[in-house]
Amino acid sequence: MERRLLLVSNSTLHGGGYLQHCARHVTRFFGRDVKRVLFVPYALHDHEAYTSTARDTFSCMGYELDSVHEAENPVDAVRNAEAIFIGGGNTFRLLKSLYDNELVTEIRRRVLEDGVPYMGSSAGSNVATVSISTTNDMPIVFPPSFSAIGLVPFNINPHFLEPEPGSRHMGETREQRISQYHEEPDTPCVLGLREGSLLLVEGNKASLLGTTKARLFTRGKPPVEYDPGSDLSFLLTNQRDSGPEGLAL
């Protein structure tokens, strides 16, 4: 079975509602074979309110939505899911809850072995990668590991942005923080997804979708900009110290 992933930078874009900016990509991704989507609301504290928001949105798109927090057995819920959507919020809280409920390995198996479609937004995109080491979030809880689900061999930085022109802020930029991450050995590429961008993965093909560019950071190399519509399939090779040609250095 081929993996199918839709990794979204942000759930809400300025001026629109929840998932409104990417709704057509979501419906195209899940298609009409999927009837029910399993939602994972662990990244936010109020699971009920979060589920209600997601359920209303997915209902408008033509899908029933079940939440894993409502299931008697979360592992069984993942095992029986037609599709999985993990929403945004705090990435540390999300990953800890995934480990606490023994879902990391099961989600990986369902997606990579059974071909179950996986959608993530913000924190949900973070946990689809190698690790959560490039999240923007505060470590409000401590997961047993920073290692994530590992559906792709690189990391993502959602909500990537540059400093505002003329800003007097003297703290590190997002790019500087990613460079600090790459000062450590054996660190994978980091794809900076600006708000409004999303990555579609189908088997060994990856495409940048949305309305904004993405910036790719590779250890020891200058960053590279990619326009919407770009083929980023090279990211699906082993990305530890690899270049944009997809070849290990």
Query: Which residues are annotated as catalytic?
Result: 122, 137, 159
User: Comparing C-alpha atoms, which of 46, 60, 52 is closest to residue 89?
Assistant: 46
- First-to-last C-alpha distance (Å) of the chain: 29
Q: How far apart are CA 129 and CA 151, in angstroms?
A: 6
- Helix, strand, or coil here: 27? helix
Q: How far apart are CA 206 and CA 98, in angstroms?
A: 25
Checking DSSP bridges between strand 64-67 and strand 36-40, what pairing results, if any? parallel
CA angle (137, 141, 145) in 5-degree steps: 90
User: Comparing C-alpha atoms, which of 81, 118, 127 is closest to residue 2?
Assistant: 118
